[in-house]
Structure 1
Amino acid sequence: MAFNLPITYSQLPAHVSTFGRRLTVSATAVSRTNAEAVDWVKETASFFERDARPIMLFDGVCNLCNGGVKFVRDHDKRRNIRFEALQSEAGKKLLQRSGRAPDDISSVVLVEKDRSYIKSEAVLKIMEYIDLPFPQLALFLQFIPLFIRNFVYENVADNRYNIFGRSDYCDL
């Protein structure tokens, strides 16, 4: 069960909150650079002006991540999700919008117009967007406690290069 608060990005400083099963990032992601504040929500609003589909951020040199993107593309017949490498300039801006450091490539992130999902929450949300039977599987997996899902996620993520390898470039 998720409690949605009527909050926009601009009403609160950046923070991550857990309400029920949803780990959400809400509020303004502000970065101090040369004494100038940057509102990353406004800075990245153009990503959603013409195309409201969510954006999946992934590690572009990780073989596991590239395989995951190919899997999602193959099972997303309606093309509900867009993709962007975490290492790209757009990816870095969207990371900051999501309240993460621009060089943080430790997790897949799903960025929607009004919220972001990280780690296992991002994976479950992505599953909701793709074809059957994955939305139903996501519904079932949400009953596994978040700390257990994220523990498994983090262990795989921390060892992804050792297990699956890495490439010199993003092949997407």
Structure 2
Amino acid sequence: MTTHVPETALRRTPLLMYDGTCGLCNACVRLLLRIDKAGTLRFAPLQGPTAQAILRERGLPTEDFDSLIFVPDFPRKDGPHWSRTDGVLQVLAELGGVWRVVSWLRVIPRWLRDPLYKVVARLRYRLFGEYRPRPLAKVEWAARFLP
């Protein structure tokens, strides 16, 4: 006797947690929404209840909004996660296609990549300002955001 497992139970659910008040972060999320034609990525602001619960479960800081966190299968509590440039490169690998090629930049050591990330993170509000809410380009994108 075989048991039928629903297709949705077999799918991974990649989640990108980002600073929900940052203009640059929100612009990047909107770009990812356009690039991710398959619609697999989910998004949650680090300040929101979903991200806060995941951060607590994984023993990560709940007040550090200077780094994005990418979790390739967020319902799995014991799965991996990546932050800073590792997170960015993992998201690009997740998207596939030409973006997977860009993700090969991980051959550059983290100690060379992350300092630039930290500089941009420190200056992002001065350079890009706070996020000003506006409608999404496609209404169906709203379902990809977790509170």
Superposition TM-score tier, normalisation by shorter sequence: 0.7 to 0.9
What is the aligned-residue RMSD (CA, Å)? Answer: 2.2
TM-score, length-normalised on structure 2?
0.76
Contact 2:26 2:131 survives alignment (8 Å):
no
Query: 1:130 Cα shift?
Result: 1.5
Query: What does residue 108 of structure 2 align with?
Result: 144
Percent identical residues: 26
Query: What does residue 121 of structure 1 align with?
Result: 86
Query: 1:102 Cα shift?
Result: 1.4
Query: What does residue 85 of structure 1 align with?
Result: 45
The one-letter code sitting in structure 2 at the alignment partner of 1:52 is R
Q: Say whether residues 1:130 and 2:95 are aligned partners.
A: yes
Q: Which has the higher contact order (CA 8 A, sep 6+)?
A: 2
SS of the counterpart of 2:70?
A: strand
Q: Residues 52 and 131 (structure 1 numbering): CA distance in 2 closer, same or farther, change over 3 Å?
A: closer
Structure 2 stretches lacking a partner, 5+ long: 1-8, 74-78, 136-141, 143-147
CA deviation profile, 1:94-149 (whole Å, cap 9, x unmatched): 2223432212211000013311101110000000112531110111x111111111
What pairs up with 1:1-172 in 2 under 5 angstroms? 52-113=12-73, 114-139=79-104, 141-167=105-131
Structure 1 runs of 4+ with >6 Å offset: none
Distance in 2 of aligned mates of 1:170 and 1:125:
28
TM-score, length-normalised on structure 1?
0.65
Distance in 1 of aligned mates of 2:134 and 2:61:
20
SS of the counterpart of 1:56?
A: strand
Report the structure, 1 or 2, having the larger strand content. Answer: 1
Distance in 1 of aligned mates of 2:81 and 2:134:
23
Distance in 1 of aligned mates of 2:11 and 2:48:
19
Instruction: Please identify, of 105-114 and 49-58, the stretch whose mean Cα deviation from structure 2 is larger.
Output: 49-58
Query: 1:87 Cα shift?
Result: 0.7
Distance in 2 of aligned mates of 1:78 and 1:53:
12
Structure 1 stretches lacking a partner, 5+ long: 1-48
CA deviation profile, 1:22-41 (whole Å, cap 9, x unmatched): xxxxxxxxxxxxxxxxxxxx
Report the structure, 1 or 2, having the larger helix content. Answer: 2
Distance in 1 of aligned mates of 2:30 and 2:19:
13
